[in-house]
Structure 1
Amino acid sequence: MEKSTGVSISTIEPEMDYDVGCIRMSRTKPEYWSRLGSSKNRTHEQENLGKETIMDIMMEAPQECTFAFTDGSCLTNPGPTGAGAVLYTPGGDAIRLKRAVTKHGTILLAELVAVLMVLEEILQHPHLTPGNIIQIFSDSQTVVGILTMGWKNNGHRSVIEEIKKALRTLSMTTTVQLLLTSGHAGLQGNEVADGLAKE
């Protein structure tokens, strides 16, 4: 028996998962984020837990998974920016990517460009993902939030659209997982990407 409450359910926003390109979108932060801590005030114990968390995620990935770490650099915010990334293929190769982004930009722009560089590299060289799966680790919560949780962002729309276009193209052949990592927690991939972004 239905009873009218006078409340319209059409105004209630449901919690849901949805797909954009080949990235699974969610309205809520993944549980593992709470174990990464903040790079601004992370304790040594939190640093170890964050590193262990990312290593566990990588160990649980399929054997033929390609991994990538991305980072952005900004001397002042805004200021001169650079993007860096490193890809680790299942065959053991390490492909290093770097790009000067702009003379006057934000750290967010540099972090987004770093993700875009990885996607462009995979599109140009599909043999780098022989298992048709790649996990991309970014230490920017904002980047991962924008691209996987639909966080609002009024800037850098053209770069975000380029990323989404690349994801849609890749979705035909490759599964892309964009994950948050612990910045400056001693993970080799993080450190390599950070160094490339600053070159």
Structure 2
Amino acid sequence: MTDDVPEIKAIYTDGACSGNPGPGGWGTVIYFVDGQIHELGGYEPGTTNNRMEMQAAIAALQFLQQHDYHTPIELNTDSKYLIHGITQWMRGWKRKGWKTAAGKAVLNKDLWLALDELTQTLNAEQKVAIDWNYVKGHAGNVGNERCDEIARAFSQKRTISLKKSVDANAGNSSNPAAGAVVKPNPKSRTPKNVDPQTKIPLPTIDTTLSDMSDTRINRVSNMLKLLQTADELAKQGYLITTSELVVLTGVSAIELAKRGDDWTWRNWTVSCVSSESDQEKFWQLERIGE
């Protein structure tokens, strides 16, 4: 740890995107043990929410690297996509040559590679172990709420004052409204046109039974059918429509719009594989860990 950086208590990161894809922003807040706070933020004109979540984490790790920090840290994020990717999925992706279980190219590979290189370098050269910790978003957590505020301000190009406890010239932050130049992120992926695949009929959950014991048994049975359907969809690489995804997951169409193009449901990652030119959105499931 260098003289210009006090001991870090915790780091929070978050990303935001309008449109997904669309204009995005990321926010990183570093809390020091002595009470100081250092904030970073950035803007990307065309990106996704997941990429902004990843970019916020990259900025945090770059801060540690640039300041030659040598103490284990806790990094908090509300992105399960980020945590699962860096702690679980990446091992399988590497074994498969950065392919998913369905044989598709891993989304956001450029940023995953950057995160992987940073974590390995920090651990090997600076002995920095990173504790990737999930925090629920919009639940009153001060660090998470502040990161969200920063990310949204940058995504909308609104002026926001960032706290600076460390020399800003050594960091990676910028404020578009203040006239600073934002360091460009790697190019966002361009979704490929995908032809609809064979659709598997999704089961209908029976909620009309009156007997409580039979109802519980039927609910478990129906849920098992749903999970088996999801597994078959992932195994065969079939694509499903948004309305079918709503039936499968129980997540409303309004909530789906908020979750973006890549998110986690139970044991699967759910990814949008349609381009903006497609008349209807199609989704693909991939079993976590495969």
Aligned residue number for residue 25 of structure 1 = none
Identity over the aligned pairs, expressed in percent? 27
Aligned residue number for residue 177 of structure 1 = 131
Alignment of 1:123-142 (within 5 A): 123-127=65-69, 132-142=71-81
Tell me if structure 1 keeps the 8 A contact 2:76–2:133. yes
Number of residue pairs the alignment of both structures matches: 132
Does 1:162 pair with 2:114? yes
Does 1:105 pair with 2:47? yes
CA distance in 2, matches of 1:145, 1:66: 23
Tell me if structure 1 keeps the 8 A contact 2:16–2:25. yes
Aligned residue number for residue 83 of structure 1 = 26
Q: Name the structure with the higher strand share.
A: 1
Q: How large is the RMSD of aligned CA atoms in angstroms?
A: 1.6
How far has the Cα of 1:126 moved from its partner? 3.2
CA distance in 1, matches of 2:133, 2:19: 26
Alignment of 1:139-154 (within 5 A): 139-150=78-89, 154=106
Aligned residue number for residue 67 of structure 1 = 10
Tell me if structure 2 keeps the 8 A contact 1:66–1:133. no
Which of the numbers 39, 58, 68 marks the counterpart of 1:96?
Answer: 39
TM-score by length of 1: 0.63
The one-letter amino acid of 1:121's match is: F
Give structure 1 regions of 4+ aligned residues with deviation exceeding 2 angstroms.
none
Structure 2, unaligned stretches of length 5 or more? 1-6, 91-99, 154-290
Where relative contact order (Cα < 8 A, 6+ residues apart) is larger, the structure is 1
CA distance in 1, matches of 2:9, 2:41: 18
Q: Deviations over 1:107-132 (max 9, x none)?
A: 000000010010001111135x6xx1
Tell me if structure 1 keeps the 8 A contact 2:8–2:30. no
Structure 2 SS opposite 1:136: strand
The one-letter amino acid of 1:141's match is: K
Structure 2 SS opposite 1:150: helix
Structure 1, unaligned stretches of length 5 or more? 1-63
TM-score by length of 2: 0.43
CA distance in 1, matches of 2:8, 2:18: 33
Structure 2 SS opposite 1:171: helix
Alignment of 1:21-32 (within 5 A): none
CA distance in 1, matches of 2:77, 2:49: 13
Say which one has the larger Rg: 2
Structure 2 SS opposite 1:185: coil
Which of the numbers 165, 187, 191 marks the counterpart of 2:145?
Answer: 191
CA distance in 2, matches of 1:72, 1:124: 22
Aligned residue number for residue 19 of structure 1 = none
CA distance in 2, matches of 1:126, 1:66: 16
The one-letter amino acid of 2:12's match is: F
The one-letter amino acid of 1:161's match is: L
Structure 1 SS opposite 2:84: helix
